Structure 1
Amino acid sequence: MDGTDKIYLVGELAAATGVTVRTLQHYDNIGLLPTPGRTDGGRRYYTEEDLLCLEQIIFYKSLGLSLQEIRDKVVKRPKLSQIEQTLHEQEVVLYKKIEDAHASIAAIKACRTAIAAGNYPSWQLLTSFIQTLRNSNLTDWGQYPFSDDQNGILGKHFAKDQDAFDLYHTWRVLAFKAVTLSESGTAPDDPAAQDLAKDYWTMVVDVTEGDAEQIRAFTQVQKDRASWPEGDRELMDASQSFIDQSVNHYLTSQSNQKGGL
């Protein structure tokens, strides 16, 4: 060690980073952050590079990585490409957890929709779809062969990832509700079904800006389901008929009301 290099004793490193001395000892024992040596007085010390490694450990741990995973990823003087790869991998993991939470939320909303209509939810159906949806997520749609027209429409609307995420989960919630209402015997003209139809049509108009050509392109995506992720395809197959009937009744009612004015 060069005499000009800054060193940190165990207590100093703990104070500088906000971890406990016991944590540093644990990291040393498991080989995650071993102390490089001892001072002339026999006290353990860390270097500036060790400080940077510890900061990586703390950061990755805050993202939810296990110590075992961190041990494989934290290196001294990491390349930017290594950091980028680690961040990408953990981002995918976290989005998957969010997707799973949204699937559960969709099931809760579907249950409440059935209850509001005076029906008992189909527990077996809901459980099955929760498990199915957890096998599909938004990233799976990267493999879907969108046409040029569809890319033009969706690409313009989803310039931000959050927009795509919001639409994806709005659709899932509505489709889940449709399946639940259909299975509970609710008629498409029932008030609960019409509330669903209104929300669904609002979603379509928001995406397409109400343009007839864009609506056709958007609708075609729903029809061309062979290349959809499995979970989403099964959900759409189960909900499409009820959604179509409910929305058709809703649009007819809206047209009749305008015509009567």
Structure 2
Amino acid sequence: MAKYRAIPPGFMTVGEMAKKMGVTVRTLQYYDKEGLLSPSAESEGGRRLYTDKDLITLHQIISLKSLGFSLDDIKQHLISLETPSDVANALTEQANNIRKKIDQLTASLTAIEQLKAEVLQMKTVNFKKYADIIVNLQMNNEFYYLIKLFDDDTLDHIRGQFDKKSGLDFMERFNHLSDEIVRLKKDNVLPESEKSQQITKMYWELIMEFTNGDMSMLPKLMEIGQIDTAANAWEEKQKIVNDYLEPALQVYFSRLGVNPFEEAKK
């Protein structure tokens, strides 16, 4: 490290550097100690001296820190600033990191707005449901809003029955079957046909998987699934599914010689 009797042109003291970048002198001393940013020179009196190049490096550090990087991460992301290409690469990486942060913040803002809408619709304070909605928002489960329809007992059952992976897998299979039923309806496939009965059997097996065979849950599910006026695309699709499944399930249970809905009432 070069040493100077006085502060030459192009250099600034640690205090001047700190003031320009809005940080404390202690912060710059800490970055020096951690090997993130050492002064380019030192005066004979021991004053740390920085250059404009050091200022650019400090800007990198501050920007990466504001994006949530740890000091160890920042050490790995700092780019040498010896050539115009180095500077361009540093700025490119910094811009990419900012774009990622913008995406994360946008997703967080969307989740907050969605949760706010659900809280207002629920009209009661229920932190357990709020937590479930937040978890499903983080899972990118587009059907998170259905949680508000379940009572506490059903939600407890769901928490015990599914984890993140199995829950998303279940919803994927449920949606796939729902799409198949919509196609059957569109193609005017009769509910008593073999193709319809195969899909109906799979749908009922999915319901049994969801309830874990607990027939006492059927009335609750029927109440939740009852859609008089669709408020969104999912409910519109589910209304079509319900209309088609009602006669299809009657045929299915008639052939089995059982009526699980009557059993659930007992």
TM-score interval (norm. to shorter):
0.3 to 0.5
Which protein is bigger by CA-based radius of gyration?
2
Q: Which has the higher contact order (CA 8 A, sep 6+)?
A: 1
TM-score by length of 2: 0.47
